[in-house]
Structure 1
Amino acid sequence: MRQEALARRRSLSPKENETFSEAICRRLRSLPACCMAKRIFAFASMADEVQLYGWIAAALSEGKTVALPLVRGKGVMAAVRVRALSDLVLGDYGILTVREDQREIVDPASLDCVLVPGAAFSRKGERLGLGAGFYDRFLGEKATQAQRIAVAFSCQIMEDLPLEAHDIMMHGIVTENETIFCR
């Protein structure tokens, strides 16, 4: 299922990715969980993921605290504050992160909202990640109070996904076509 979902995501043309990402970011800007949040954990988008950089820049200009993942070890990540997109450098796994001299760790317990990437999601809020467990650990152990909003293209929505005891459910999913409220 993971490979099928990732193939769907990769099948989008760069123009489709751009157009769909813009639509998703517009939806995020009107979503109460994001509008009211003061401290948001986002992600630095890989090429085939929803592109959040414009949304991050807008959130920063509104005075919101935005944090991004910092890989700390196998399956472990921290939240590091980003003050400007120009502070991002290539990190582990080829993912952008805040450059070392600008890093300020954000307490995950202070986060209001977490924007969650993944390979696939179901309308019930099930998530299929990339297999390393970073987000399940982070959400289940460190940011339990935060609203969990999946950010995905509609082609990543599947009927049912396998769920394990450690898998964390989403509160909502935002695609280019709709906002799905799961809980």
Structure 2
Amino acid sequence: MTPIITPVLAHHGLELDSLDIIPAGKRKVLRITVDGDGPLGRGPLLDDIAAATRDISDELDASPDIGDAPFTLEVSSRGVGKPLTQAKHFRRNTGRLVLAILLDGSQVRGRITDADETRVVVALEPEPGKKLPKDAPTSRELTLDEITKATVQVEMNRKSDPELDELGDDEDADEEEN
């Protein structure tokens, strides 16, 4: 299945993040999760995913590997629930609030301000309702090797910060999620 799907995604500037084939009675559910830089380097747009979905469906319908077997096709972006595991995930989430758990068990909560292939820089933010100590650093650089798990934190009432807002427009990103 991957040899059919991957070239179609590449044509749309997307990459295959995961493919799950789930039996559902007499049918199968093909659940495809995609990722990509998108026009702003922050992930794929819904229009790109929709166009790729139509083309994947056409290719699967024409494939002798699928034949007349009934299936349901689901294509979506990674969404905010999936852990950040690769450098590109951190880069694509610049401007977003993350919680990182480190090898030593400690946690770092902050907004990604920069990321490359080996490290991520976060502007530290306190837990809701708390304050950072006065002598605490305002940012922290982490190597990807020291992060055991990192997830984007959902923000319902984020206050505007012009300096960080320039890094990424969360309003556009929210519209892209399925």
The alignment's TM-score, normalised by the length of structure 2, stands at 0.27
Higher percent of residues as helix = 1
Higher percent of residues as strand = 2
The alignment's TM-score, normalised by the length of structure 1, stands at 0.27
Higher relative contact order, structure no. (Cα contacts within 8 Å, ≥ 6 residues apart)? 1
The structure that has the greater radius of gyration is 2
